[in-house]
A and B are shown apart, each in its own frame.
Chain A
Amino acid sequence: MKKPKFGFWQVVLWFVLLAGGCSLILRFTQGLGATTNLSDEFPWGLWTGFKLFSVALAGGGFTLAAVVHIFNLKRYRPVLRPMILTAFLGYSMFICSLIIDLGRPYRIWHPVVMWNDHSVMFEIAWCVMLYTTVLILEFAPAVLERLGWQRALGWLRGVMVPVVILGVILSTLHQSSLGSLYLIVPGKLYPLWYSPFQPVFFFISALCAGLAMTIFESWHSRKAFGKQLEQSLLVGLGRVLAVGLAFYLAVRLVDLAHRGVFHLLLLPRTETYLFILEIAFLFVPMLLLFRQRIHQNPTALYFCSVLTLLGFVTNRMNVAITGLEASSGTYYFPRWTEISITMSLVAAGFAVFWLAVKYLPVFPPARETAAMPSPVLSAVSDLSHATS
Chain B
Amino acid sequence: MSKALLYDATMCIGCKQCEVACATENKLPYNDAIAAEQKQSDHKYTAVLTKGDKFMRRLCMNCQDPACASACPVAALRKTPSGPVIYDEGRCMGCRYCMLACPFSVPKYEWGKLLPKVRKCTMCPDRVAAGKQTACAEICPTGATKFGERDDLIAEAQQRIRDNPGQYVKHIYGLSEVGGTSVLLLSSVPFEQFGYPGDMLSEAMPLLTSRVLSKVPDVVTLGGVLLGGIWWITNRRVVVAAAEGSEKRSSAAGSKPGKKVKGIQNEKA
Chain A residues whose CB sits within 8 angstroms of the CB of B224 once the complex forms = 165-166, 169
Q: Is A125 part of the contact surface with B, judged by Cβ < 8 Å?
A: yes
Of B28-36, B98-106, B146-154, the stretch lying at the interface with chain A is: B98-106
Chain A residues whose CB sits within 8 angstroms of the CB of B97 once the complex forms = 119, 121, 181
A31-B112, A72-B238, A116-B75 are contacts. A40–B41 as well, Cβ < 8 Å? yes
Complex partner residue of A184 from B70, B216, B227, CB under 8 angstroms: B70
Interchain nearest-CB distance for A376 vs B (Å):
16
Q: Are B100 and A180 in contact (CB under 8 A)?
A: no
Chain A residues whose CB sits within 8 angstroms of the CB of B201 once the complex forms = 186
Q: Are A119 and B99 in contact (CB under 8 A)?
A: no
Interface size classification for chain A: 35 or more
Q: How far is the CA of A294 from the CA of B193 in the complex (A)?
A: 56
Q: Are A40 and B111 in contact (CB under 8 A)?
A: yes
- Scan residues 181-239 of chain B and give those whose CB is less than 8 A from a CB of chain A: 197, 199-201, 205-206, 208-210, 212-213, 216, 219-220, 223-224, 227-228, 230-231, 234-235, 237-238
Interchain nearest-CB distance for B235 vs A (Å):
7
Q: Are B93 and A103 in contact (CB under 8 A)?
A: yes
Q: Are B109 and A184 in contact (CB under 8 A)?
A: no
Interchain nearest-CB distance for A138 vs B (Å):
15
Q: Are A119 and B112 in contact (CB under 8 A)?
A: no
Complex partner residue of B266 from A74, A104, A108, A120, CB under 8 angstroms: A74
Chain B residues whose CB sits within 8 angstroms of the CB of A270 once the complex forms = none
Interface size classification for chain B: 35 or more
Q: Are A169 and B227 in contact (CB under 8 A)?
A: yes
Chain B residues whose CB sits within 8 angstroms of the CB of A176 once the complex forms = 212
- Scan residues 111-156 of chain B and give those whose CB is less than 8 A from a CB of chain A: 111-117
Q: Is A373 part of the contact surface with B, judged by Cβ < 8 Å?
A: no
Central interface residue in B74, B75, B110, by most chain A CB within 10 Å: B74
Central interface residue in B42, B110, B114, by most chain A CB within 10 Å: B114
Number of A-B contacts defined by CB within 8 Å: 181
Chain A residues whose CB sits within 8 angstroms of the CB of B199 once the complex forms = 187
Q: Is A382 part of the contact surface with B, judged by Cβ < 8 Å?
A: yes
Of A63-71, A308-316, A351-359, the stretch lying at the interface with chain B is: A63-71
Chain A residues whose CB sits within 8 angstroms of the CB of B109 once the complex forms = 32, 40, 43, 103
Q: How far is the CA of A41 from the CA of B267 in the complex (A)?
A: 58
Q: How far is the CA of A108 from the CA of B73 in the complex (A)?
A: 11
Q: Are A70 and B231 in contact (CB under 8 A)?
A: yes
Q: A33-B110, A43-B99, A183-B209 are in contact. List 5 more A-B contacts (CB 8 A).
A: A71-B234, A72-B234, A115-B75, A123-B213, A173-B219
Could you list 21 examples of A-B contacts with CB < 8 Å? A32-B111, A40-B99, A40-B108, A71-B230, A72-B231, A103-B94, A103-B96, A103-B115, A107-B74, A111-B73, A111-B74, A111-B93, A120-B209, A123-B216, A169-B223, A173-B219, A177-B212, A185-B101, A185-B103, A196-B208, A388-B266
Closest 8 CB pairs of A and B: A103-B94, A33-B111, A72-B234, A121-B73, A107-B93, A116-B75, A385-B269, A122-B73
